[in-house]
Chains A and B, each alone.
Chain A
Amino acid sequence: MMISRRIWQKRPPTSSWIFLRPYTSQIAVPSPSPSLFPVQTPSLIGFLSSYAASSFRSVYKISSLEMPTMVSRCCYSNHALADLPASGIVDVPLAQTGEGIAECELLKWFVKEGDEIEEFQPLCAVQSDKATIEITSRYKGKVAQLLHAPGNIVKVGETLLKLVVGDSAVPTSSSDVLESVKPPGSENSPDSKLNKDTVGGVLATPAVRNLAKLYGINLNDVDGTGKDGRVLKEDVLKYAVQKGAADGPSAASVSADCREQLLGEEETYPQTFAEVKWYPDDKTVPLRGFQRTMVKTMSMAAKIPHFHYVEEINCDALVKLKASFQNNNSDPNIKHTFLPSLIKSLSMAMSKYPFMNSCFNEESLEVILKGSHNIGIAMATQHGLAVPNIKNVQSLSILEITKELSRLQQLAKDNELNPADNSGGTITLSNIGAIGGKFGAPLLNLPEVAIIAMGRIEKVPRLSDDGNVYPSSIMTVNIGADHRVLDGATVAKFCNEWKQLIENPELLLLQMR
């Protein structure tokens, strides 16, 4: 015992800094249970040297694994030993329970004054908010005085009780005080908890192993500063920092401050794990709502034989028309865009080519020519693709279409479209150009037989008849059609009609009722 004491006093251990911290910091973190610590003065230095510890490696086995990650606490005992007042009485305060709260209610004592207590014996139960917590003793000793009664509110840091820690009973802590160490050859069942049967026989707790795994660190590469060369959490983090691995807050530096933070911030422990990931994890997103519907509808659409017809439409007149609407707009709530004019001219063209506005019944091989022009407008919302339709466009004016479109857009944005808005469509327009792209090859919105994707209106150079270059606003459209019902000629003729109405909007007046 004397020899060991001398050695203990030789060199300050690297991991002893923890104990110099005032108890109000969250030193209790990796401890097995919120333990009680004696009051310490900053001038004390732990005398245990890691070298000394390793020199005992061959002689002593780990006796108790109650504090697997904090073998460095071994110096704690010596710490107290060095500082023990002559009377041997130690003030035991309520340590931080890790909830960041300032006080707990003392529920009951498990010991009374005069009781002899063992290391790790439960002393009392306290309650903080949601949890009842058993406080165990770090010391073997005798209860000198209980300072609180059950029902009292005890502030964190306040002394709970006084213990007599005699010199024959060196305050034993986790597994390193010499008296409590078992003679070599005897194995405690708790030993197996330490997972000694690991690669290269590296000693480390499951929590430390997990941390090393997270950083992709081989424990064999890490110098363990704990007893018997045990690898502690700080060892892994220090190694990770040196490796340039860590970028999370808990492994930012190996400074004492950081140590305190990482030891103290156990409430952010799981989040810290998430922050410092090396390899991004896959994320599984279950499809719901619009996205789920899209899976079904598109799978069915893919079975239909599509063909696609592409055409360029000159939008110069449309641009002028929109400008005119806007300039003569007296209602501030209305915003004029290209879409309502395109929708109305589409409806007009469909009146001449009713097959474009139809449904196909596979079983009976019948085509139903729909009376109403319920034109669906594809909308990209944050919830997914929504396709509400404007009913009876054939009976609506461009202004009415503008208002209805605006109403549907707002509902779609708020995810408040009702089923009636989404059903009953007879043809679909997809203004993908509003986002970007020249044109797309859209898939049918069943049970419709046609869908039109419109690209951006782009200003491009065109050649006039006399060879001059002039600018022109051109929009490319792609009409997707069900080839079981429509053929190329029908679609082409329909498209020509529609193109003519867009390029010459005054023609709309001819058919206006």
Chain B
Amino acid sequence: MMIQQQGKKVGLPLMNLVRLNRTPILKQLHLEEKLLRKSSTNWCIINDGTDTPAIVMGISGKPSELLEIGSVLRDQVPVIKRFTGGGTVVVDKGTVFVTLICNKDDVPGVQPYPRSIMSWSGLLYNQVFKGIADFQLRENDYVFGNRKFGGNAQSITKNRWIHHTSFLWDYAEGNMAFLKQPARAPEYRM
């Protein structure tokens, strides 16, 4: 608690770092939701790939609108609905998952609103991708130039928030065929 206070004084949130490797994405999501709702400390979870390919939809995703149901059923691809908003993504061993779970008061300057959180995370990832291929946060996406390479989602509760990202470090082109083009797209892609 002392360290947490001191961390706050220098404007940095103290985070527990969890590094996973090929943890199934469903298990990771269970863990994240539990930490968001039950824990009172800050967490950063990094999972290097999931064991088998899966489709992960946002909380209000409707399979008929978002997925090529026929292909999904034929190939028996697991479809998971997560507890955060956002869109649909096909994940596999080439996806790098990074999740940030924070108390709303622990990150200076960040308000528990999507835009505020993403502005902060955008700055963080700016450091990570510095000098590489024109990384930027565009609307709600992480892009290189105008190419989106990671999907984001959040959930904001009374005192905490979670922001998680699936970075497509690598992906199988064939898997993208399971997804339909979403009805809404950001301005920069128009």
Interface residues of chain A, those whose CB is within 8 Å of chain B, are 28-30, 32-34, 68, 97-100, 105, 107, 120, 122, 127-134, 136, 193, 195, 205-207, 210, 213, 266-271, 273, 286, 288
Bound-complex Cα distance A205 to B84 (A): 28
Q: Which of chain B's residues has its CB closest to A105's CB? A: B60
Contacting residue for B152 out of A28, A105, A130, A268, CB 8 A: A130
Instruction: Give chain B residues whose Cβ lies under 8 Å from the Cβ of A30.
Output: 111
Given A105-B60, A131-B156, A132-B156, A207 contacting B109 (CB threshold 8 A): yes
Nearest CB of B to A507, in Å: 50
Return the contact of B111 from the options A136, A193, A210, A266 (Cβ within 8 A).
Answer: A266
Beta-carbon contacts of B76-115 to A below 8 Å, as 1s and 0s? 0000000111110000000000000000111011111111
A194 to B111 alpha-carbon distance, docked (Å): 16
- For residue B94, give the distance in angstroms from its CB to the closest CB of chain A: 22
Q: Is B17 an interface residue (CB 8 A)?
A: no
What distance in Å separates the Cβ of B127 from its nearest Cβ neighbour in chain A? 10
The reply to whether B85 and A136 form a contact with Cβ atoms under 8 Å apart is no
Q: In the complex, which residues of chain A have a beta carbon less than 8 angstroms from the beta carbon of B131?
A: 286, 288
A107 — which chain B residues lie within 8 A by C-beta?
59-60
Contact indicator B109/A273 (Cβ below 8 Å): yes
Question: Hey, what's the 0/1 contact readout for B52-90 against A, CB within 8 Å counting as 1?
Answer: 000000111000000000000000000000011111000
Interface assignment of B22: CB less than 8 Å from any CB of chain A: no
Can you add 12 more A-B contacts, CB < 8 Å, to A193-B105, A270-B109?
A: A98-B111, A99-B115, A127-B60, A127-B85, A130-B85, A130-B152, A130-B153, A206-B105, A266-B116, A270-B116, A271-B119, A286-B130
**Chain A residue at minimal CB-CB distance from B119:** A270
The reply to whether the CB of B140 lies closer than 8 angstroms to some CB of chain A is yes
Asked if B158 and A195 make an inter-chain contact with CB atoms under 8 angstroms apart, the answer reads no
Complex: how many Å from CA A32 to CA B115? 15
- Contact A266 B158, beta carbon cutoff 8 Å: no
Q: Could you tell me the distance between the alpha carbons of A29 and B114 in the complex, rounded to whole angstroms?
A: 11
Mark interface residues in B138-161 (1 if CB within 8 Å of A CB, else 0). 001000000000001111111100
What 9 A-B pairs have minimum CB-CB distances, sorted nearest first? A98-B113, A267-B115, A131-B154, A210-B108, A131-B114, A130-B86, A132-B155, A133-B156, A127-B85
**B110 nearest CB across to chain A (Å):** 7
Q: Is B158 touching A127 in the complex (CB atoms < 8 A)?
A: no
Q: How far is the CA of A268 from the CA of B118 in the complex (A)?
A: 11
B interface list, Cβ under 8 A from A: 5, 8, 11, 58-60, 83-87, 104-106, 108-120, 123, 130-131, 140, 152-159
- Are B115 and A132 touching (Cβ within 8 A)? no
**Residues in B whose Cβ lies below 8 Å from that of A129:** 85-86, 114, 140
Tell me the minimal C-beta distance from B128 to chain A in angstroms: 13
A128 to B109, CA, bound (A): 22
A136 contacts which chain B residues (CB < 8 A)? 158
30 contacts across the A-B interface (CB closer than 8 A): A29-B111, A29-B113, A30-B111, A32-B158, A32-B159, A107-B60, A122-B157, A130-B86, A130-B152, A131-B85, A131-B86, A131-B155, A132-B59, A132-B83, A132-B154, A133-B114, A133-B156, A134-B155, A193-B105, A206-B105, A267-B115, A267-B119, A269-B110, A269-B116, A270-B116, A270-B120, A270-B123, A271-B119, A273-B109, A288-B131
Q: Which residues of B contact A33 (CB under 8 A)?
A: 104, 112, 156-159
Tell me the minimal C-beta distance from B99 to chain A in angstroms. Answer: 14
Complex contact B113–A97 (CB within 8 A): yes
Query: Is the beta-carbon distance between A206 and B156 smaller than 8 angstroms?
Result: no
A100 touches B115 (CB 8 A): yes
- Distance of A463 Cα from B119 Cα, bound (Å): 68
Q: Which residues of A contact B111 (CB under 8 A)?
A: 29-30, 98, 266, 269
Please measure, in the bound complex, the distance between the C-alpha atom of A213 and the C-alpha atom of B10, giving whole angstroms: 10
**Shortest Cβ distance from residue B124 to the other chain A in the assembled complex, whole angstroms:** 11
Which residue of A has the minimal Cβ distance to B5? A195
Task: Note all chain B residues with C-beta closer than 8 A to A133.
Answer: 114, 155-156
Q: How far is the CB of B59 from chain A (nearest CB, A)?
A: 5
Provide the bound-state CA to CA distance between A238 and B113, in Å: 25
Bound Cα distance A127, B130 (Å): 32
Contact B154 A98 (CB under 8 A): no
B1 and chain A: residue at smallest CB distance: A192
Option from B106, B114, B118, B158 in Cβ contact (under 8 Å) with A134: B158
